[in-house]
Structure 1
């Protein structure tokens, strides 16, 4: 997960959800705003402390997560 250096996890911040650089903005918020049709420039104007690289990495992280395959544990 080295490539996701802007995505942080902390149980004390947003309940441990993946956040951008440890701030109180989650990957889910970014993905939701993009899905709702907001442009990167609009998101940056709404959240001036974000950088374009933050949004790009949030989208990359979300894409990576949906491609994961969960394997059930076999009962002994």
Structure 2
């Protein structure tokens, strides 16, 4: 399995990177289900965990870049309508 090289700053978004990680994870999960030996399965699991870590890092990065949106009140406070 090969993942395309990451393009320069133009033409690449966090969503594109996440889509690449999801595709790689899907492929690895498929290979894991068909792993013939424990050694192969362990190597695939290590790769899966590494990609999940990259997705978590990407999520933190995108959350840090997102504009702050005030929380919406679901219930009114004292004297406010619901």
TM-score (norm 2): 0.35
User: In proportion to residue count, which structure has more helix?
Assistant: 2
Structure whose alpha-carbon radius of gyration is higher: 2
TM-score (norm 1): 0.38
